[in-house]
Amino acid sequence: MKSALALLAAPLVAALPSDMGKASALKQRQAPVSIHEAFVGAGKEFFGAATDQGLLQREPNAAIIRANFGQVTHENSMKWGSLEANRGSYNWGPADEVVDWAVANGQLVRGHTLIWHSQLPQWVEGITDAEELREVIRNHVSTTVGRYAGRIHHWDVVNEILAEDGSLRDSVFSRVLGEEFVKIAFEVARETDPSAVLYINDYNLDQANYGKVNGMVSLVQKWVNEGVPIDGIAALEQLASAPVGEVAITELDIAQAPVEDYTAVVQACLNVEKCTAITVWGVGDADSWRRGEDPLLFDNNFNPKPAYDAIIDLLS
Ligand code: G3I
């Protein structure tokens, strides 16, 4: 199957005149077949990549995303600590740039993330009064979701809120408000942009019957029964049994990017009807936050890796 890809690649490269300079060099580094289009062809919604303002300005990131992916997630600039490090003073520039670029280039956007214990401003960490924290959450969610209403289609409303045993993780939100912060965040997000798909997002959800997975399923079951408007969870079969419309793999990276592991993840999403999408956590290995682990689909020189080609083979 790999040789079939090489054959596909050959005409593209051969057709480029040798003196086209930088533009042709960039083209050669993009993969010849879009992983996004192949995934959509298999009935899924999108295959995306995390990126950010600085990365998009550094070619060939933007060119690869445009050619090979269909969705972007802000790696850092949409987090509360980036948007409002000082109370009441917003830094929208970098997050806006990513959204504007995505809309101009036909890419969907996942809003990552509204409520997270990490990359959280000090002034939020320090709140001890319940009513003040409720108000601060309402304001943050309505301001942020409102700014991008109609342009951000999926929101990670709450992120990584569970401990490994499936209970609520300790954070300023759980300490001051208990579970109530989940309800507030989802309700305000729903009111502010009724068309956005609202997600609860977490990691280590890839083993069946694991404490965190069990906790996620039963808490989401309970919250949905109580009327909390949760539409989706990130990852898979057991999670898909919770009463949500969809699940997705939202931050995929795998150390050394083994072909068998990447294809297993894609196959798992294909096997689960409710699994709508996959997003990898970056484009090229040189920009991965997991330094030295080479966990992404493009190498340090932005060439597609064997895992990329194998996914295309699987989908075709
Ligand atoms: O922006 C500052 C810069 O001003 C400063 O000079 C520099 C010095 O260390 O730090 C910069 O901030 C860094 C930031 O990324 C932006 O580059 C932080 O130190 C660094 O900790 C931060 O790491 C991010 C990490 O979340 C923080 O938890 C990673 O880039 C980002 O990929 C990672 O993403 C998370 C998801 O949001 C949630 N799930 C886990 C995931 C990683 O798999």
In the chain, the number of structural domains is 1
Classify residue 219: in a domain, yes or no: yes
Looking at the domain assignment, is residue 9 inside a domain?
Answer: no
Question: The domain containing residue 106 runs over which residues?
Answer: 30-315
85 lies in some domain: yes
| Domain annotation covers residue 133 | yes
Nearest alpha carbon to residue 88 among 41, 140, 43: 140
* pTM exceeding the 0.75 threshold for the entire prediction: yes
Range scoring the smallest mean pLDDT among 154-163, 172-181, 260-269? 260-269
Whether 13 is covered by a domain: the verdict is no
Q: Does the active-site annotation cover 273?
A: no
Residue whose CA is closest, atom 12 of ligand 1? Answer: 76
52 touches ligand 1 (CB under 6 Å): no
Rounded to the nearest angstrom, the distance between the alpha carbon of 76 and the centre of ligand 1 is 6
Catalytic status, residue 160: yes
Domain presence at residue 5: no
Looking at the domain assignment, is residue 120 inside a domain? yes
Give the model confidence (pLDDT) of 181-202 as tens digits. Answer: 999 999 999 999 999 999 999 9
Q: Residue 56: give its domain's CATH number.
A: 3.20.20.80
Q: pLDDT category, 237, cuts 50, 70, 90?
A: low
Q: How does pLDDT run across 108-123, given as a tens digit for each residue?
A: 999 999 999 999 999 9
235 or 98, greater pLDDT: 98
| Domain-located, residue 21 | no
- The contacts found for 268-274 with CB under 8 angstroms, 24 or more apart, are 268/236, 268/237, 269/44, 269/236, 270/42, 270/44, 271/237, 272/236, 272/237, 272/240, 272/247, 273/240, 274/240, 274/244, 274/245, 274/246, 274/247
For 4-57, how does the pLDDT look when each residue is reduced to its tens digit (9 = 90+)? Answer: 111 112 222 222 233 334 444 445 567 889 999 999 999 999 999 999 999 999
